[in-house]
Structure 1
């Protein structure tokens, strides 16, 4: 690069890579969260349902009902796709071949968003429909982290769709 040339660095792809990392981290924490639905003496996660009776918590697996297994499979699949897209994005960014794979990463992330949103819509509908808890309950931070992960996945997918390279060549 000579002294007359100007290079404009637009960090959209780096920000997108960071968003995918945050989405993956939020997804892992949401999967491991013990609190998706809570009430005074009840806690429900993706893996187990716990009830408190006289200072002792009794937990049972939630993998017996089909809608909870479907939710878990959808979120695990979305997390796996997010991990794959993160690895492809990271490797292509480090090797400098980033333009070739960004469209693939964007499509993978849009697919992960669809799976994640389907799981996050299915979960409260089937929870309320099954009437597991007849008292006051609230969807807790584990469920919220699932939505946060979906938002970061969507943001990263949109950033990977931006084509800033074709506009830079026309000006410089």
Structure 2
């Protein structure tokens, strides 16, 4: 009689690597987005505030207010940590011998999620508190991409915490 070996493929680390890549891409697009808050004649991003006067847009830097600088720094730090996590997980996945770094990547991603969520909560609170717009406004797709990035970071961090090297042999 021959013994058959069965290998169970659990692609959690590959899915987590893909999630980190998507989170990084969403974060970059959110950082570069011109539309975080919009209204009829106003647009606010992380970098500049633009107002429309007689079909001509005039833009000013937003790096003069402390809460906008704080939001930008928090998101840039989260994006940098996400980039570092992506590189570490890509190297660990490709080489296959550095599996102990998956826990470090998970901790880094959890830290990036905390920074990103703090920035995404700070932004609307301080925006409404500063009363920049007295009229109707909406938080636009740039702000939404920031939340999407945080969700993918959290998903990747959870997937990196899963232990796939422990098998349920005792139950069979």
Report if TM-score (shorter chain) is over 0.5.
yes
Give the Å deviation of 1:169.
6.2
Give the Å deviation of 1:111.
0.1
Deviations 1:109-135 (A, max 9, x none): 000000000000000000000000110
In structure 2, runs of 5+ residues without a counterpart are none
- Structure 2 CA distance for aligned equivalents of residues 154 and 59 of structure 1: 35
- Structure 1 CA distance for aligned equivalents of residues 171 and 24 of structure 2: 36
Give the Å deviation of 1:99.
1.9
- Structure 2 CA distance for aligned equivalents of residues 169 and 77 of structure 1: 42
Give the Å deviation of 1:2.
9.1
- TM-score normalized by structure 2? 0.96
* 1:6–1:61 CA distance, 2 compared to 1 (3 A): same
In structure 1, runs of 5+ residues without a counterpart are none
Aligned to 1:111: 111
CA RMSD of aligned residues (A): 1.9
Moved over 4 A (4+): 168-172
How many residue pairs align between the two structures?
172
* 1:2–1:27 CA distance, 2 compared to 1 (3 A): farther
Aligned to 1:136: 136
- Structure 1 CA distance for aligned equivalents of residues 2 and 44 of structure 2: 62
Give the Å deviation of 1:92.
0.7
- TM-score normalized by structure 1? 0.96
Give the Å deviation of 1:98.
4.1
